[in-house]
């Protein structure tokens, strides 16, 4: 089994994306798989110009030979790890240029149900952490389009980076253990993706999750006691507002909790 890891960060080995993907691939190797890494910054992918060529039918790019080769590499992999940094609450443009041009022999969602190869999508929001779920939703929309069998989405921020790295090798082992599992129907594929964690998260949900992740880290810091207590109080306030159907009040409390946690971090 061969696992392909794609790193969308232009920082190559210097970024969190490389760290996470490397650890996952190490886990895959421990389970007997061979692995390879594709750094998009080395590829200099060109953007799609909608040239009119039947790329979905032919499986190639008439404008860029490198795009065809990248599609072939994804096509040849038995499992995929796709990691993108978050820029402006979306996967970065370098990753987007890859996603726009990949064409697989198994064809997209409306041309049969073959593929079913396991895939893990990762979004890394290293600054504020915000936008991590909108980026993941975009990545998983692409995985669904090409009918990959998904592992649960992996959101990565500086608040949960240590935990992610501790669990990363296990994800690699899980990826290898999944094997290829084509979907029985398009409907089942769509339901599988809709039921994944975080796919229905909105902006307020994301701020709440970020505050909770930061709070978990603050609680182990001896100097962050007051901040941790305030974040905890605000999150409880948000729950109380939700119980009273006060969405605005809940959102205000969640945003404040995130801001306090980020400042203390």
> Strand 2-7 and strand 34-39: pairing?
parallel
Return the bridge partners of 139, or none. Answer: none
Q: For 123-175, how does the pLDDT look when each residue is reduced to its tens digit (9 = 90+)?
A: 999 899 999 999 999 999 999 999 999 999 999 999 999 999 999 999 999 99
Minimal CA–CA distance to 258: which of 236, 234, 242?
A: 234
Residue 112: per-residue pLDDT: 76
- The CA radius of gyration of the chain, in Å to the nearest whole number, is 20
Q: For 117-133, how does the pLDDT look when each residue is reduced to its tens digit (9 = 90+)?
A: 999 999 999 899 999 99
pTM reported for the whole predicted model? 0.96
Q: For 67-100, how does the pLDDT look when each residue is reduced to its tens digit (9 = 90+)?
A: 999 999 999 999 999 999 999 999 999 999 999 9
Minimal CA–CA distance to 44: which of 17, 14, 10?
A: 10
Q: Do residues 173 and 3 lie in contact, with contact meaning Cβ atoms separated by under 8 Å?
A: no
Q: For 14-56, how does the pLDDT look when each residue is reduced to its tens digit (9 = 90+)?
A: 999 999 999 999 999 999 999 999 999 999 899 999 999 999 9
Q: Return the sign of the alpha-carbon dihedral for residues 203, 204, 207, 212.
A: negative
Q: For 192-208, how does the pLDDT look when each residue is reduced to its tens digit (9 = 90+)?
A: 999 999 999 999 999 99
Rounded Cα–Cα distance for residues 9 and 16 (Å): 9
Residue 221: per-residue pLDDT: 73
Rounded Cα–Cα distance for residues 205 and 214 (Å): 14
Residue 152: per-residue pLDDT: 98
* Start-to-end CA span in the chain (Å): 41
Residue 223: per-residue pLDDT: 63
At residue 222, does pLDDT exceed 70? no
Rounded Cα–Cα distance for residues 53 and 187 (Å): 29
Residues in contact with 155: Cβ distance below 8 Å, sequence separation at least 6, in sequence order: 122, 123, 125, 132, 133, 136, 198, 209
Alpha carbon 234 to chain centroid, angstroms? 28
Residue with the two structure tokens 């994301």? 206
Lowest mean pLDDT among 7-11, 213-217, 224-228, 233-237: 224-228
> What CATH number should be reported for the domain whose range is 2-194?
3.40.50.360
Rounded mean pLDDT of the chain?
A: 95
> Which helix (H) or strand (E) covers residue 24, if one does?
helix 16-30
């Amino acid at each position: 089994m061969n696992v392909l890891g794609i790193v969308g960060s232009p920082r190559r080995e210097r970024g969190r994306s490389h760290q996470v993907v490397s650890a996952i691939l190490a886990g895959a190797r421990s389970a007997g798989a061979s692995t390879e890494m594709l750094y998009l910054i080395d590829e200099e992918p060109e953007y799609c110009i909608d040239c009119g060529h039947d790329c979905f039918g032919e499986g190639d790019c008439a404008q860029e030979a490198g795009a065809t080769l990248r599609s072939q590499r994804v096509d040849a992999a038995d499992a995929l790890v796709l990691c993108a940094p978050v820029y402006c609450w979306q996967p970065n443009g370098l990753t987007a240029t890859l996603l726009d041009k990949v064409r697989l022999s198994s064809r997209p969602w409306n041309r049969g149900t073959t593929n079913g190869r396991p895939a893990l999508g990762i979004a890394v929001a290293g600054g504020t952490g915000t936008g991590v779920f909108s980026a993941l939703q975009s990545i998983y929309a692409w995985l669904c389009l090409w009918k990959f069998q998904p592992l649960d989405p992996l959101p990565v921020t500086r608040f949960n980076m240590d935990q992610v790295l501790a669990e990363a090798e296990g994800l690699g082992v899980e990826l290898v253990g999944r094997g290829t599992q084509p979907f029985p129907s398009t409907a089942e594929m769509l339901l599988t993706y809709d039921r994944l964690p975080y796919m229905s998260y909105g902006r307020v949900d994301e701020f709440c999750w970020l505050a909770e992740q930061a709070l978990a880290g603050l609680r182990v810091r001896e100097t962050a006691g007051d901040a941790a207590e305030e974040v905890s109080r605000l999150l409880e306030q948000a729950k109380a507002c939700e119980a009273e159907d006060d969405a605005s009040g809940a959102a205000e409390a969640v945003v404040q909790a995130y801001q306090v946690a980020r400042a203390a971090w």
